[in-house]
A and B are shown apart, each in its own frame.
Chain A
Amino acid sequence: MWMLFFIVLTAVVGINFTRRQRGKLWYVILAEVALLIRFALVFAIYYNGTETLGTDGLIYHLVAKNVANQLWDGVPIFNVEYKFTWYTVLVGLQYAIFGVNRYAASFTNAFLAILSGFYLTDIAVNLKFTYKKSAFIGLAYIFMPSMMVWTTDTRKESLTFFAAILIWHINLLLLKEREWPTSRRIAYVAAICLLLWLSTLLRIYMLFTLGGGLLVCLFFHYLKTRRRFILYFGVTILIFSCVIAYTTVYANLHDYHALPMDSSQQGDDTLDNEVNTILDIILSKDIPQSINGFFTEPHLDKVQNISDIAGYYSLITLVRIEMLLWYACMIMALFGILECLLKFDSYLLGLLAFIVSYSLINALVSENVADTYYRYRAAIVAPVLLFADYRPLFNHMKSIIMRKSIV
């Protein structure tokens, strides 16, 4: 029933996204295939039952069950006690309404991943990429093997990536659309603020990476256009970010489990202590090595050491192939980044700021573990794909050197 619902929903949403592109049904069909593969993966990973399998996914499922129990006992949703991440409340709400079903929660994640792919394609189309290239970006995202794994289990990754992509999509619409009534603009800005807050609840540093990226984008856009709306938009994001930093980041910093804190240092909840701990972590690291780790781990010869796939030769080979493609994608993206810097494209500069800040924070603060890097890096795959094309820069350079254009 759930599967059928999401298959139909994907078709409806896909057709809606491609309505302006005639004869692009193949894109929707491929998206359905990606969804079906995820469904198959769900059945494969829960083969031995849903109550014992997994790590984060299992814990979130169990917390969500507890949340559902609280809701059934009449606890209001804002007073529900939960652990680890707000994602568990969302899954708990789903369990409370539709019954406890880890399969259904995973199917929802799978659908969100496909929806992210649609939005990513739409972003690319709106950035004036050809439809072929835009569709390729969206499909590359939804068919990426690791992405399938991260976005299928009851992990928060699917929602995190979806929120990030949706923020950038709404931001693009707000920059692009000039004829919207003020009420609609306010609603969209409010939606961005809400998503920013939710993203921060999912991963606390998302405020700095997403918020920072948005502010960079809006700052350069305002410098370029001096549109008053952009100024108001930027100031709203800035004020809201400060509020979130105080009310959410500060409140949750100590409980943030992805920080490899030394247990001996815990116990003091002051901000100074938290900041000192983070600084200690950063200073204790070999920074170039950490940057290397974030962008390139798991190295080809270490893929077999990832405990989740140890012993599965086909999966090891698949991850190795994906890593090779990722390296190629990063190299391609360098061309796109240089082109974006030359064109001074405010939107892409904002995305670049997001990629750089997200990468640096994760490289410097997260655990130095190949599979952690691998999973956390997935958040920048979508924006990197938007840069991964060497042709615009080549054509640009060619036209300059061939004297067809000046700059």
Chain B
Amino acid sequence: MKAKKGRSILTIILSVILSLLTGVSACADSGTESPISDYNVKVRINTDGSIDVTENIRYSSLSGYNNILLLLDKKEGEEFEIKNVYMLQKEGYIECTRLESEQWDISAFSGTYSVIEEPDMIRLKVYGTFSRRYGSIVVQYSVKNAVRRYNDVAEFRRTHIFKKWGEHISNISINVDLPLKTSISQIKPFLHGVIVGYKKVQDSSITFIIPNTVPGEYVETRIVFPQDLIFNAPFEEAINHLPKVMEEEEEYNESDKSDLLKAREDAAKEAGRKAWAQKMTQRAKKVAAGFSLIASILGIYMFIRLKSQLGKIQKTPIPMNLKGIDELSPAEARMIVFNGRTGARAVLGSLFKLVSLGRLTLGVSENGHKVMTFKINGDINGDINEGINDSNLKDSDYLLLEWLSGMTDNKNEFNPVILTDKARRTASASDLRTFLDQWEHKVFLEYSDRDILGTTLLFYRDLGLIIGAVLFFLGCIIPVSLSIWTGYLMLPVGFALFLYSLRIRKHTHYGVAQHRIWKELKKRLINRTIALDGLPDWMSKAMALLGYTVALGTEKELSLVYAALTKENNNLSVFLDNNREDRELSGIIKNTIAVFDQAIREVQDANQFAV
């Protein structure tokens, strides 16, 4: 039920974001301006029934278009020939070249055109760089058999603007010149497809003027004139055609033209919607810019507020005597001192700790570089042998022992050198990475059990996470959908807040206090400004101290470890099977760390990909 509710909420949120993205962006550039501001057509009818047409079209709302499409009427039986295509450039009109076979070396992106013939129309595409300033083309073409000759009359009928073009076009002027002069009364011009428009006949010239068209309208002209004007044309049919024409025109005149009315109505609505959308877009831009700034400031405020909450904690004095130091494992100590990282030193430090607890025995491998080896004492599941103290073992320690038992040879001894080979094999590297992931997670959980967030901090953490994520998403969506700079500000603010909130545990009272104490301890170990009796009891045992030394990265300075060994009345031979000089210990530790470090680094990506 909860999942269903969550899914519904998610769906609603996504829908809102989607509508914001699509709706607003769709309106971002809308305007009521007609894409075509002038459409002039000059038709000359020849005596053979062919026509020569010149179309001059001016585009007004182009911005960097690389092609323009023109739909030209073509009826059955007509022979169509594009003669010239010109486009306006800076230097004036240039003649365009037709893209045809074997003309591959022409510049295809400036001043060319292609022609696609369809059953009822010609698609003419002109290629070049068009802009609002230079957005004019001129097309000249001729059509044979365009005018039909009958016994009584000749008929010119063409569609100049197609219904499916779907563009707003203004200032349409169509001029048709007859081949010879004739009586005006014998010329019958008709205009179809638009509600507003008029025609005039002067001498042998017919002009159609249409102020504008909207999507859904079309412009078709029809002229009936004496057939003997095209005396060179063949007869289409030996019939009297005028009665049919008049009948059709009467039908057209009497039709309700609801489709055209609807087109006008839709266009008016569309224009209103676009004007409203443009207004809303401008308003949305202003609101979004303000919102982005406020949201970013809110994010920064949230960040400062979080820091100030934590800052109160951080102002507590450093306990110089290490009195407040908590008993962390070497892995936990490394994690808080090294910004959440664990790695090879944490594993090795934990192994030394296990040696100090009697679960492991230390040895040295003689093959190649000398490295430390570890032998498991007794049963890893808690067989209490003499000298073994399990009371301090944690889940992560048991997991480490379990892993170690799988890595030992037939003498029950683990030599770290085998890790190098395992890290280079896909399957074993993946196993090693899986173990490390599980072990590190356990170490994290053990630490977080101590570092419990207070209710206030928990609230701020969750709030920070949510606000950070929301700001990140809005920082991606708002500036892209509304094209505003200020929106991008939310992106870094949101991401920073998100990351900071995610890692807030590092900054709690407990976290900060331990971080400072352990850093101080590290500093003192390096500077030799701490004595063995200044250390807590649980750290002062030689092998435990070695573990912390390795985990904290201070193994170059081992004098305290030697002191601990002396105090325990032991020398290194207790831990190293063969009698070794003290100075060798440092080199062996260095080699062991290097082997662990290389292997564990190499498998960092082992579980990133499927095996």
Contact = CB atoms under 8 A, between A and B. Distances in A.
Nearest to A404: B445
Interface stretch (A32-40, A203-211, A238-246, A286-294): A286-294
A51 to B, nearest CB: 4
B595 interface: no
A interface: dominant SS: helix
A288 B485 contact: yes
Interface string B430-446: 00000000000100110
Interface in A55-76: 55-56, 58-59, 62-63, 65-66
A369 B64 contact: yes
A296 B21 contact: yes
Interface in A295-351: 295-296, 299-302, 304-305, 307, 310-311, 313, 323-324, 327-328, 330-331, 334, 338, 341-342, 345-347
B18 A324 contact: yes
A313 B63 CA distance: 25
Given A125-B610, A179-B424, A224 B18 contact: no
A54 B118 CA distance: 14
A84 B29 CA distance: 33
A90 to B, nearest CB: 16
Contact of B166 (A62, A304, A331): A304
Interface stretch (A2-10, A183-191, A257-265): A257-265
Interface stretch (A142-150, A159-167, A170-178, A268-276): A170-178
Contact of A63 (B22, B104, B445, B473): B104
A52 B116 contact: yes
B484 interface: yes
Interface stretch (B105-113, B260-268, B351-359): B105-113
Contact of A292 (B25, B340, B598, B605): B25
Contacts of B101: 51-52, 62, 65
Contact of A289 (B483, B502, B505, B610): B483
A225 B90 contact: no
A347 B607 CA distance: 12
Contacts of B606: 178
A56 B104 CA distance: 11
A100 to B, nearest CB: 11
A55 B67 contact: yes
Contacts of A369: 64-66
Contacts of A346: 605, 608
A213 B25 CA distance: 29
Contact of B609 (A83, A128, A225): A128
A248 interface: no
Contact of A225 (B65, B99, B495, B601): B601
Given A327-B21, A397-B469, A400-B465, A407 B502 contact: yes
B76 interface: no
A406 B447 CA distance: 10
Interface string B37-78: 000000000000000000000000001111111010000000
A334 B610 contact: no
A67 to B, nearest CB: 10
A307 B123 CA distance: 9
13 contacts: A83-B105, A175-B608, A179-B424, A225-B601, A226-B598, A287-B485, A288-B480, A311-B71, A311-B162, A324-B18, A324-B22, A369-B64, A405-B441
Given A55-B127, A58-B114, A296-B25, 19 more contacts: A58-B99, A59-B108, A62-B101, A65-B104, A127-B610, A178-B606, A224-B601, A224-B604, A288-B480, A288-B484, A288-B485, A300-B26, A302-B29, A311-B71, A313-B164, A347-B609, A367-B129, A369-B65, A372-B66
